[in-house]
Amino acid sequence: MPENPLALGIDLGGSKILTAVVNAQGQISSRDHSPTPAAEGQEAVIKSILESVDRALNQAGIATSDLGAIGMGAPGISNPETGIIFASPNLPGWRDVPLRDIIERELGKKTLVMNDANAAALGELYFGAGRGARNFICITIGTGIGGGIIIDGKIYTGAFGAAGEVGHMTIDNNGPLCNCGNTGCWETLASGTALVREAKHQIEEGARTSILDYAGGDIEKVTPRIIHAAAGQGDNLARELIAQTGYYLGVGLANLINIFNPELIVIGGGLSNIGDMLLNPAFKTAKKRAYREVYQAVRFVPAELGQNSGVLGAAAFALREMKRTIA
């Protein structure tokens, strides 16, 4: 491999595809962001991935042959050894999809596939808030809740790569139905999707709130950002909904703290941008529910890489695996 090889990082999410050309130092030379046509099915999503790749490569002024490797983070249960996506709650209809083989066939370049939240954790480990830490957990709170677990400086993937699905631990066995088929998963109670669902329910029940005004009177346009905006202007319901989401976030954090005894929990994802209004109730609840000594040993820090964590981690993982294989 060249002394400073380039990799293509692809971060496939339920709502966005982010593609970037990255070097071994984590420097991004091009970046493409596009929506994921998840509702249109597998073929449409893969077509969009390939189009995003073309744009990123053209922007960087390089060809696929100039890449050392391709790394890809994808949501759901996957096996990094085979590159197969077994199931993805946020990508309807995806089951046993040989994503690695498809991308390798289409682009003619060695590709590695891993869980998107694991890729984000690696990005923070190599280039972000996790640098220097040996044992930490990275959670991303957005459409759902993803998690990556770093133990002794390495990503923990479990028996075949499916570890870290923290968003699908049961918080309330009588809770809402999750896309995964379970009920009461963490992400059904503490994600952006959960926050919007509860806001819509309250509005439909006739609650007094300005949330709908911020959405232009269209309930389908209610988003976490709109709820946050209403809360910032003193809307009581919006504040209560965010605090409730924070409470459930804290319950899950307490479970992770007690199980893993991490030195660090890195928190990222779009919903975390709400800040103290969401996080203070979460930390208060986690402190109350976790073992005192274990809670005192952990630090909560914001993710440093923003939306780039997944592409940086996926690209770095691919380059390191290729280097290890060649060596």
Mode of pairing for the β-strands spanning 84-87 and 154-155: unpaired
Q: Is the pLDDT of residue 1 over 60?
A: no
User: Could you give all domains of the chain from N- to C-terminal order, each with its CATH number?
Assistant: 6-116 (3.30.420.40), 132-303 (3.30.420.40)
Tell me: the pLDDT tens digits for 89-102?
A: 779 889 999 999 99
Q: What is the pLDDT of residues 256-270, one digit of tens each?
A: 999 999 999 999 988
Q: Report pLDDT for 2.
A: 58
- Strand 145-151, strand 154-155: pairing: antiparallel
Average pLDDT over residues 151-176: 93
The pLDDT assigned to 326 comes to 47
* Residue 327: band (very low, low, confident or very high) from pLDDT cuts 50, 70, 90: very low
- Percent helix, strand and coil across the chain, each to the nearest 5: 45, 25, 30
Question: How are beta strands 84-87 and 111-115 bridged, if at all?
Answer: unpaired
Confidence of residue 7 (pLDDT cuts 50, 70, 90): very high
Tokens found for residue 68: 């050392």
Neighbouring C-beta atoms of residue 172, cutoff 10 Å = 14
Encode pLDDT of 218-255 as tens digits: 999 999 999 999 999 999 999 999 999 999 999 999 99
CA pair distance 37, 45, nearest whole angstrom:
6
What is the maximal distance between C-alpha atoms in the chain?
65
Asked if 38 and 15 count as a contact pair (C-beta separation under 8 A), the reply is yes
> What average pLDDT does the segment 156-169 reach?
91
Are the C-beta atoms of residues 12 and 73 closer than 8 Å to each other?
Answer: yes
pTM as predicted = 0.89
| The two three-digit tokens of residue 93, written as one number | 């209809």
pLDDT tens column, 23-82: 989 999 999 999 999 999 999 999 999 999 999 999 999 999 999 999 999 988 888 889
Reduced to 3 states (helix: H, G, I; strand: E, B; else coil), residue 39 is: helix
Q: Which of 106, 117, 1, 93 is nearest to 52 (CA)?
A: 106
Q: What is the model's pLDDT at position 324?
A: 64
Q: What is the DSSP string of 82-116?
A: TTEEEE-TTSTT-EEE-HHHHHHHHH-S-EEEEEH
d(CA 32, CA 53): 8
